[in-house]
Amino acid sequence: MALRNAVMAALLEGEASGYDLAKAFDASVANFWMATPQQLYRELERMAAEGLITARVVEQDKRPNKRLFSLTEAGRAAVHAYTTERPSRPSAIRDELLVKVQTLDAGDATAVRAGIADRVDLARTKLARYERLRTALLDGRTEEQYLVGAERVGPYLTLLRGMDFERENVRWGELALRVLDGRAAQRCG
Amino acid sequence: MALRNAVMAALLEGEASGYDLAKAFDASVANFWMATPQQLYRELERMAAEGLITARVVEQDKRPNKRLFSLTEAGRAAVHAYTTERPSRPSAIRDELLVKVQTLDAGDATAVRAGIADRVDLARTKLARYERLRTALLDGRTEEQYLVGAERVGPYLTLLRGMDFERENVRWGELALRVLDGRAAQRCG
DNA sequence: AACACCATGTAAGCAGTTACATGATTAG
DNA sequence: CTAATCATGTAACTGCTTACATGGTGTT
């Protein structure tokens, strides 16, 4: 019942196909909600059946047809109702890498080290993408100007949270790498 | 198949009952893995059936009996094997509050504001708990001494990551509150 | 007297993952 | 020539959540 709110959040940006949403979830919304394409297609069916969204088939040549979904009035009302709900259930995280880090001392420290290095690289990549998204949103304005004057601040605030998160991934990952390298050198030297 | 690795990570600290694990997951491991008691009881059954852990029944008076689980040799081997697996699947987050923040401009900004304030309070509470855990782990040593000399660094590194995360929650939340208050004042004044 | 804690579990239902399938188009 | 992109979906499975049940003990 909560994926649908994430979908409606994405549809506030305008109509989109299941495929579009899969990409959007992978890019901008990914820092607070993950969903596979299959989940999205199923949820879109249900939402359409319940009248929260409507589909518009667009025929394309040299491309498969697509169904563009957009929010109905009932959908917008549902979004508004959702924002008034209290409390939000606590955020859920599942991070396999941190499970491995936790067990590092009873496992293969070299392999875990490599996993941390991968994570740092990934965080840097995401950070660069978010930075481009931020520049596009700001569109020449400063952050202060934007936060005071823009019609919508929600997407900008969530983007800032995502950027903070990835920055911390880089910072923490580099610390962890230094620590592991220091201990490895100590054991060998 | 991944919850069990989190369980084994927790059992590296020593034998524990399902009830103990539920508390531990809520406290120290919560920053990278969430699990309900029901999930744990079910997974413990399976793991015992597969020989990764063994149960020891402890009879108590004035308290219900409990089953204390501990890792077997096969369990330790499984932990080691898990740390060598590459890659780790990307970390999954689901944060309802951020979905609401995303849709804030089409919803009830006052209610979302209250949700952010709750989140900041919760983050402060968690941060204080993690700080106590950290002090207990350090046990008089400085962080540098600990990271170089301690037998195990995994749990300390994951704790640092959790603390960073909660600190960012506080920092970001306070910024978001300032922004929303500024915009509200602007509309009224 | 009411509530929270200890300690375990069942049952039902919803959510999420994985593998597979289609079939044309464009980029390297 | 291979791989990736576009665009959708089915089927089978595994995992997770919610509600409920038990029953004694300690706390306010």
Check residues B62 and A170 and name the one with the higher pLDDT: A170
Distances (CA, A) of A67 to A4, A21, A54, A56: 17, 12, 9, 5
Give the bridge partners for A92, in sequence order. B94
Nucleotide C5: closest residue by CA–C1': B63
Chain B residues with CB under 8 Å of A92 CB are: 34, 92-95
Q: Model confidence at B163, in pLDDT bands (50, 70, 90)?
A: very high
B53/A61: higher pLDDT: B53
Q: How confident is the model at residue A188 (pLDDT cuts 50, 70, 90)?
A: confident
Instruction: Tell me which protein residue sits closest to nucleotide C10, measuring alpha carbon to C1'.
Output: B38
The CA radius of gyration of chain A, in Å to the nearest whole number, is: 21
Minimal C-alpha gap between B58 and chain A (Å): 27
B70 touches chain A (CB under 8 A): no
pLDDT band of residue B88 (cuts 50, 70, 90) is confident
Residue of A nearest to B123 (CA): A90
Say yes or no to pLDDT of B79 above 90. yes
Residue A82 has which token pair? 């959702």
A100 — contact with chain B (CB < 8 Å)? Answer: yes
The reply to whether A152 Cβ lies less than 7 angstroms from strand D is no
Mutation target among A11, A96, A126 for the B interface, most CBs of B within 10 A: A96
Check A92 against B148: CB less than 8 A apart.
Answer: no
pLDDT bin (cut points 50, 70, 90) of residue B28 is confident
pLDDT number for residue A109: 97
Spatial separation of the C-alpha atoms in residues B83 and A187, rounded to whole Å: 20
Q: What is the pLDDT of residue B125?
A: 93
Measured CA B138 to C1' C14 distance, in angstroms: 43
Phi, psi dihedral angles at B55 (to 5 degrees) = -105, 145
pTM of the shown model: 0.95
CA separation for the pair B126, B132 (Å, rounded): 10
Q: Which nucleotides of C are covered by protein (CB under 7 A)?
A: 6-11, 14-19, 23-26
Q: How confident is the model over B54-76, as a mean pLDDT?
A: 95
Over residues A75-97, mean pLDDT: 93
pLDDT of residue A70: 97
Q: What angle do CA A19, A25, A28 make, to 5 degrees?
A: 125
Task: Identify the closest residue of chain B to A111 by CA–CA distance.
Answer: B84
pLDDT band at B166 (very low <50, low <70, confident <90, very high): very high
A50 touches strand C (CB under 7 A): no
Q: Does the CB of A75 fall within 7 Å of any strand D atom? A: no
Region B50-79 average pLDDT: 95
Closest C1' nucleotide to A55's CA: D8
Compute the average pLDDT of residues A39-62. 94
Residue B168 CA and nucleotide C9 C1' are separated, in Å, by 38
pLDDT digits (tens, 9 = 90+) for B124-162: 999 999 999 999 999 999 999 999 999 999 999 999 999
Distance (Å) from the alpha carbon of B121 to chain A's nearest alpha carbon: 12
| CB neighbour burial string for A35-63, b if at least 16 within 10 angstroms, e if fewer | beeeebeebbeebeeeebbbbeeeeeeee
Query: What residues 143-172 of chain A have any CB closer than 8 A to a CB of chain B?
Result: 147-148, 151-155, 157-158, 160-161, 164-165, 168, 171-172
**Percent of chain B whose predicted confidence (pLDDT) is above 90:** 89
> What whole-number distance in Å separates Cα of residue A12 and Cα of residue A8?
6
Nearest CA in chain A to B90: A95
Residue A189, pLDDT above cutoff 80: no
CA distances from A50 to A4, A42, A54, B112 (A): 11, 13, 10, 25
Q: What is the distance between the alpha carbons of residues B139 and B148, in angstroms, rounded to a whole number?
A: 14
Domains in chain A, please, with CATH? Answer: 3-84 (1.10.10.10), 96-188 (no CATH)
